[in-house]
Amino acid sequence: MTSNVLPFGKAALPRPPVADRRPKVDLVHGERRVDDYFWMRDKANPAVAAYLEAENAYADAVMKPTEGFQGALYAEMLARIQETDVNVPYRQGAHFYYSRTEQGKQYPIFCRRKESLEAPEETTLDLNVLAEGHPFMALGAYAVSDDGALLAYSTDSTGFRQYDLFVKDLGTGVTGLRLAERTGSVAWAADNRTLFYTVEDEATKRQYRLYRHRLGGGRPDELVFEEPDEAFNIGVGRTRSRAWLVLGAGSLTTSEARVLPAGDPFGSFRTLAPRVHDQEYDVDHHGGDFYFRVNDTGRNFRLVKAPLDSPGRESWTEVVPHRPEVMLEGVDLFEGFYVLLEREKGLPRLRVVGFGSGAVQDIPFPEPAYSAFPGPNLEFETRKYRYSYESLVTPRSILDYDVDTRASLLLKEQPVLGGYDRTLYASERLFASAPDGVRLPLSIVYRKDTPRDGSAPMLLGGYGAYGLPLPVTFSSARLSLLDRGFVVALAHVRGGGEMGKPWHDDGRMMKKRNTFTDFIAAAEHLVACRYTSPFRLVVEGGSAGGLLMGAVTNLRPDLFKAVVSHVPFVDVVNTMLDATLPLTVGEYEEWGNPQNRAEYDYIKTYCPYTNLDGKGYPSLLVKTSFNDSQVMYWEPAKYVAKLRTLKTDLNPLLLKTNMGAGHGGASGRYDRLHEIAFDYAFVLGQVGIGR
C-alpha cells in the first residue's frame, strides 16, 4: 500500500511574461512598500490568464504520474454515492417540496407534490437545464409565494456570486424575463403579487438596496431602503408565522431590524430597535410579541420579548438570560413551542421549550463529536421539529422530533454504497493546551486498526474566523483516506465560534495570532499523543482557513509534511489596504483596518504573503478560482509566484486555478469529485501512498 517513491513528475516552472511584470511601489505610514506581483490583478490582460494556465499545465505535468490513481480515487468515491436519490420532502402550505438527483446529471432537480406524497410530481426547477452552456451553475434564492403559484429564484452562472433574479409561474411553467441583477435575499408579501428583493453594490458586493416589485403592475420597481454604511449588509425575509416581513441590516458586530406587516406590502418598514455599536440582534414573531436574540448584556446572547406595538429596548422582557458558558446561536419559534439552538463546551444542543408550560426538552445526541442543524421547518402550526444530525462516522441523518412523545423519528440516513461499516471506525474528542493555557477542542476519526505509534499519516484541518464553528460532518469521500490508514482531525481554534462569541473575540483583530498558535499547539499535541509525526502530517484549510495555512507554514514549516490551501486569504495587508475591493470595508471588524498604524503593524506580523522568507517549506498545493469574488485569484497566484523565488527546498509547489468557477470551486457534483480526487492524490502521494 505504501511506497518510498513519491508519484510525482517533473516539469519546467511557469514564468510570467517579462513585459507584464509591473511592481507597485507605495508609501504606507511612511514605509516604502514594493509589490512585485501587483500586475497579476489585471484580470482583463490575456497574459494573466495565460500565466495561470501555464501554472495549471505545470501542476498537471507534476501530477501526471498520479492520473491513474486519481481515476481510481474518483471511481471509488463515486461508487459510494447513490447517484439517483431523493431528499426528504418538507411541507410548505399545500405542497411537499423536495429535490432529487439523477445518475449522470451534475445538479439537483427541485420538485413538489400537492397535499400528498402520492400525488403527481411537479418539477419546479431543473438546474441541469439552467446549466446548459455554462461551466458553472449555483442556485441562490428559492422562494414560493404563499398560494404556491409563483417561484422567485436566482442563479449564478460564473461563480462570481452575482445572481440574476427570475419569477416562474408554476402553473404554466413559464419563466419571465430577468427581473433584476446582482440580487441577494427575496421575500413574498401575503398578497402573492408583491416581491421584495435586495441588490448589491457592484463595487463592494455588499447587499445595500431593498426594492419592491409588483407583478403585472407595469411600473418600475420601487427603491424602499438603501443602507449607506459600507460596513453593513442588508437582507429581507419573512417570519415563520408569515405575519411579518423583516428587513435586517448588520455589520460583523452590529445589527438592527425593520418590520412591515406581510398583509400591507405597500406600507412602510419601521425600525424595532435602532442600532447600537457592538450590539447584535435578530427578531422573530409569536402572537402579540416580537422575540429578540440579543447580546446586549453578554457576548453569548439572551432571549427577550416585547409587545408588537412597543418593541423598543425599554419594553424588553427577559425570557432566557445570558449565560457565560452557553452560546445562544439561534431561536426557532412555532405556535406551541420554541427551540433554542445552543452550543455548550463546543458542542451543539437543541433545546425544545413549551410556550405556556415552560417544559424543557433536550434532544439527545449519542457521540462525542457531532453536528446538529435545524431543517426546513417552514410550518408554524406543527408539533414536530425537523433537524439533521451527523458525525465523523455517522452519515447525515434527517429526523423529526415529536414534541409530545419526546422521541425522534429517523426519516433518512444518507446512503453510503459499497458496504460501509461504521463499526470499523472510531471518533474522539480531545483537548490540547494553547500556549496561554486555553483548552482547544479537537475532533478525530480513524479506522480502529490504525496504529497509534506515530507512524500513521494525518490530515488536520482548521478554519478559525468570523465566529463560525468548524462543522464536524460526515464525508463518504474521506473514507478513501481513512481506509488507507489516515487519521483525520479538526482543530477548533480561536477565531471560530465553538465556544461562543468570546472564542471569536480571542481570535480576531489584535488577537488574531491566537488562531495560528492554537493550530500549532493542536498539531504538536497530536504528534505528542503519537497519532502521527511531522513527516506524516498534512494540513488543510480554505479561505480564512487558507490564511491559517499560510501563517502556520511561515511560523513552523518543520511541523508539516504538506499543505493543501484552498482559495487562501494570504495577502491580508494589501487587500485590507484597498477599500475598493469587495468585502474589505465590512471586514475591518474582523482583521482590523491597516490605515490605523497599530493595526497595520499587527497584521504585518502574520500576513502570509508579507512574511514569506528564504527557507525550506513543506510541499504545497494551492487552489483558487478565476471568478472568486471573496478571495481574489491574484492572492494565491502572487503568493505562489513570490514563494517560488524564496524557498530553498525541492518540495512540490503547485498552483491550480479553476478558470470557470468561484469561491467554492466546481459546482457540479461530478466535477467536484474530480477536484477531490486530485487533492487526495496529492495528499496520499506526499506520505508515500500511491494506490
C-alpha cell at 482: 481513512
In the residue annotation, 543 being an active-site residue is answered as yes
CA distances from 55 to 264, 540, 587, 626 (A): 56, 21, 30, 13
Return the C-alpha cell found at 576: 485590507
Single-letter amino acid, residue 639: Y
Distance CA 197, CA 186 (A): 4
- State the catalytic residue, choosing from 543, 625, 629, 667: 543
Contact 87, 98 (CB under 8 A): yes
For residue 249, the cross-strand partners are 234, 256
Identity of residue 543: S
d(CA 114, CA 94): 6
Active site residue 628: yes
Give the relative orientation of helices 544-555 and 513-528 as an angle to the nearest 10 degrees: 70
C-alpha cell at 570: 494570504
Query: For residue 206, which of 239, 237, 161, 255 has the smallest C-alpha distance?
Result: 161
Residue 588: all three cell numbers together:
475591518
**What H or E segment, with its residue span, contains residue 187?**
strand 180-188
Q: Give the integer Cα–Cα distance in Å for 174 and 569.
A: 42
Q: Among residues 282, 289, 628, 679, which one is catalytic? A: 628
Calpha distance 390→323 (Å, rounded)? 27
Say which DSSP state 213 is in: E
Q: How long a stretch of residues is the chain?
A: 691
Q: Which class for 521: exposed (0-12), middle (13-18), buried (19 or more C-beta within 10 A)?
A: buried
Active site residue: 518, 663, 667, 679, which one? 663
HSE-up of 671 (CA within 13 Å, CB side)? 14
Backbone angles phi, psi at 503, to 5 degrees: -65, -40
Q: What is the CA radius of gyration of the chain?
A: 26
Alpha-carbon span 543 to 666, nearest angstrom? 15
Residue with cell 461504521: 422
Residue with cell 514569506: 612
Measure CA 430 to chain center: 24
Residues marked as catalytic: 543, 628, 663
